[in-house]
Structure 1
Amino acid sequence: MSRKTPSALPNGHYWATPHAPFPLDGPNGHDEVFPGAHCVSDGKWVTFYRDGEEVWACNAVYAAAHFDFAPVPAGRSSMDG
Protein backbone atom coordinates (compact mmCIF):
# COMPACT_ATOMS: atom_id res chain seq x y z
CA MET A 1 0.00 0.00 0.00
CA SER A 2 1.47 3.35 -0.99
CA ARG A 3 0.82 6.60 0.78
CA LYS A 4 0.27 9.86 -1.02
CA THR A 5 2.67 12.61 -0.01
CA PRO A 6 0.70 15.71 1.02
CA SER A 7 1.19 18.99 -0.79
CA ALA A 8 3.05 21.76 1.03
CA LEU A 9 0.91 24.26 2.97
CA PRO A 10 0.50 27.29 0.65
CA ASN A 11 1.65 30.80 1.55
CA GLY A 12 -0.57 32.45 4.12
CA HIS A 13 -1.62 32.92 7.73
CA TYR A 14 -3.51 30.07 9.39
CA TRP A 15 -4.89 28.76 12.66
CA ALA A 16 -3.35 25.29 13.11
CA THR A 17 -4.56 22.38 15.24
CA PRO A 18 -2.68 19.07 15.54
CA HIS A 19 -4.37 15.99 14.11
CA ALA A 20 -5.86 13.58 16.64
CA PRO A 21 -4.72 11.39 18.27
CA PHE A 22 -2.21 13.78 19.77
CA PRO A 23 1.10 12.47 21.19
CA LEU A 24 1.56 14.82 24.15
CA ASP A 25 4.73 13.13 25.37
CA GLY A 26 6.74 13.37 22.14
CA PRO A 27 9.44 15.95 21.44
CA ASN A 28 8.01 16.61 17.97
CA GLY A 29 6.85 20.21 18.53
CA HIS A 30 3.15 19.34 18.45
CA ASP A 31 2.83 20.01 22.20
CA GLU A 32 3.90 23.63 21.67
CA VAL A 33 1.09 24.03 19.13
CA PHE A 34 -1.66 22.16 21.09
CA PRO A 35 -4.54 22.96 21.30
CA GLY A 36 -3.99 25.45 18.47
CA ALA A 37 -1.66 28.20 17.31
CA HIS A 38 -1.34 30.86 14.68
CA CYS A 39 1.11 29.99 11.91
CA VAL A 40 2.62 31.59 8.85
CA SER A 41 3.63 29.61 5.78
CA ASP A 42 5.89 30.78 2.96
CA GLY A 43 5.11 27.58 1.04
CA LYS A 44 8.34 25.92 2.17
CA TRP A 45 8.53 26.57 5.92
CA VAL A 46 5.81 27.06 8.56
CA THR A 47 6.41 29.00 11.77
CA PHE A 48 3.98 28.60 14.69
CA TYR A 49 3.23 31.37 17.22
CA ARG A 50 1.56 31.51 20.64
CA ASP A 51 0.89 34.89 22.25
CA GLY A 52 3.04 36.55 19.58
CA GLU A 53 6.10 34.40 20.33
CA GLU A 54 7.54 31.83 17.95
CA VAL A 55 7.15 28.37 19.53
CA TRP A 56 8.02 25.94 16.74
CA ALA A 57 8.69 25.60 13.02
CA CYS A 58 8.73 22.79 10.46
CA ASN A 59 8.70 22.32 6.70
CA ALA A 60 5.43 22.98 4.90
CA VAL A 61 4.92 19.36 3.79
CA TYR A 62 5.28 18.03 7.36
CA ALA A 63 2.85 20.71 8.58
CA ALA A 64 0.28 19.78 5.94
CA ALA A 65 0.50 16.11 6.94
CA HIS A 66 0.22 16.58 10.71
CA PHE A 67 -2.02 19.61 11.31
CA ASP A 68 -5.43 20.94 10.28
CA PHE A 69 -5.52 24.55 9.08
CA ALA A 70 -8.09 27.32 8.87
CA PRO A 71 -7.24 30.62 7.18
CA VAL A 72 -6.93 33.54 9.58
CA PRO A 73 -9.83 35.93 8.84
CA ALA A 74 -8.96 39.28 7.29
CA GLY A 75 -8.61 42.01 9.89
CA ARG A 76 -7.54 39.65 12.69
CA SER A 77 -4.13 40.31 14.19
CA SER A 78 -1.57 37.94 12.70
CA MET A 79 -0.28 37.03 16.15
CA ASP A 80 -3.58 36.36 17.92
CA GLY A 81 -3.77 33.01 19.59
Structure 2
Amino acid sequence: MSPKAIAPLPGGHYWATPHAPFPLDGPNGHDEVFPGAHCVSDGKWVTFYKNGEEVWACNAVYAAAHFDFAPVASACSTAG
Protein backbone atom coordinates (compact mmCIF):
# COMPACT_ATOMS: atom_id res chain seq x y z
CA MET A 1 0.00 0.00 0.00
CA SER A 2 1.50 3.33 -1.03
CA PRO A 3 1.30 6.42 1.19
CA LYS A 4 -1.34 9.01 0.33
CA ALA A 5 0.07 11.91 -1.69
CA ILE A 6 -0.38 15.32 -0.08
CA ALA A 7 -1.23 18.23 -2.35
CA PRO A 8 0.65 21.49 -1.70
CA LEU A 9 -1.26 24.36 -0.11
CA PRO A 10 -2.66 26.44 -3.00
CA GLY A 11 -1.63 30.06 -3.38
CA GLY A 12 -3.50 32.50 -1.16
CA HIS A 13 -3.78 34.04 2.30
CA TYR A 14 -4.75 31.80 5.23
CA TRP A 15 -5.08 31.58 8.99
CA ALA A 16 -2.95 28.57 9.99
CA THR A 17 -3.15 26.44 13.12
CA PRO A 18 -0.79 23.53 13.82
CA HIS A 19 -2.32 20.06 13.97
CA ALA A 20 -2.64 18.84 17.55
CA PRO A 21 -0.80 17.27 19.21
CA PHE A 22 2.54 18.70 18.16
CA PRO A 23 5.96 18.87 19.80
CA LEU A 24 6.73 22.29 21.27
CA ASP A 25 10.30 21.34 22.07
CA GLY A 26 11.52 20.67 18.52
CA PRO A 27 13.01 23.09 16.00
CA ASN A 28 10.21 22.41 13.51
CA GLY A 29 8.65 25.89 13.55
CA HIS A 30 5.26 24.75 14.81
CA ASP A 31 5.83 26.51 18.13
CA GLU A 32 6.41 29.79 16.24
CA VAL A 33 2.99 29.43 14.59
CA PHE A 34 1.08 28.21 17.70
CA PRO A 35 -1.73 28.92 18.47
CA GLY A 36 -2.26 30.39 15.00
CA ALA A 37 -0.75 32.76 12.48
CA HIS A 38 -1.50 34.52 9.22
CA CYS A 39 0.30 32.90 6.30
CA VAL A 40 0.78 33.46 2.59
CA SER A 41 1.28 30.64 0.10
CA ASP A 42 2.46 30.94 -3.49
CA GLY A 43 1.69 27.24 -4.03
CA LYS A 44 5.34 26.26 -3.48
CA TRP A 45 6.39 28.11 -0.31
CA VAL A 46 4.40 29.24 2.74
CA THR A 47 5.48 32.13 4.97
CA PHE A 48 3.94 32.57 8.43
CA TYR A 49 3.51 35.97 10.12
CA LYS A 50 2.72 37.19 13.63
CA ASN A 51 2.36 40.87 14.51
CA GLY A 52 3.47 41.76 10.99
CA GLU A 53 6.79 39.90 11.38
CA GLU A 54 7.80 36.75 9.52
CA VAL A 55 8.17 33.97 12.10
CA TRP A 56 8.66 30.87 9.97
CA ALA A 57 8.45 29.43 6.46
CA CYS A 58 8.25 25.96 4.90
CA ASN A 59 7.35 24.33 1.61
CA ALA A 60 3.67 24.12 0.66
CA VAL A 61 3.49 20.31 0.91
CA TYR A 62 4.89 20.29 4.47
CA ALA A 63 2.46 23.06 5.42
CA ALA A 64 -0.53 21.15 3.99
CA ALA A 65 0.48 18.05 5.94
CA HIS A 66 1.06 19.69 9.32
CA PHE A 67 -1.33 22.65 9.63
CA ASP A 68 -5.05 23.42 9.27
CA PHE A 69 -5.92 26.43 7.13
CA ALA A 70 -8.85 28.82 6.84
CA PRO A 71 -8.85 31.20 3.87
CA VAL A 72 -8.77 34.93 4.65
CA ALA A 73 -9.23 37.92 2.37
CA SER A 74 -6.13 38.46 0.20
CA ALA A 75 -6.21 42.15 1.06
CA CYS A 76 -5.42 41.16 4.66
CA SER A 77 -2.15 42.55 5.99
CA THR A 78 0.63 40.31 7.30
CA ALA A 79 -0.34 41.20 10.87
CA GLY A 80 -1.34 38.07 12.70
Calculate the TM-score normalised by the size of structure 2. 0.92
Deviation at 1:3, TM superposition (A): 1.9
SS of aligned partner of 2:61: helix
Deviations along 1:22-74, one digit per CA (max 9) or x if unpaired, are 21111000000000000000000000000000000000000000000000146
Aligned to 2:78: 79
Aligned to 2:10: 10
Deviation at 1:80, TM superposition (A): 3.1
Give the conservation status (yes or no) of the 8 Å contact 1:15–1:38: yes
Instruction: Specify every segment of 5 or more residues in structure 1 that has no aligned partner in the other structure, as ranges.
Output: none
The aligned length equals: 80
Query: In 1, Cα distance between the equivalents of 2:17 and 2:23?
Result: 13
Does structure 1 residue 52 correspond to structure 2 residue 69? Answer: no
Aligned to 2:26: 26
Aligned to 1:61: 61
Identity within the alignment, %: 82
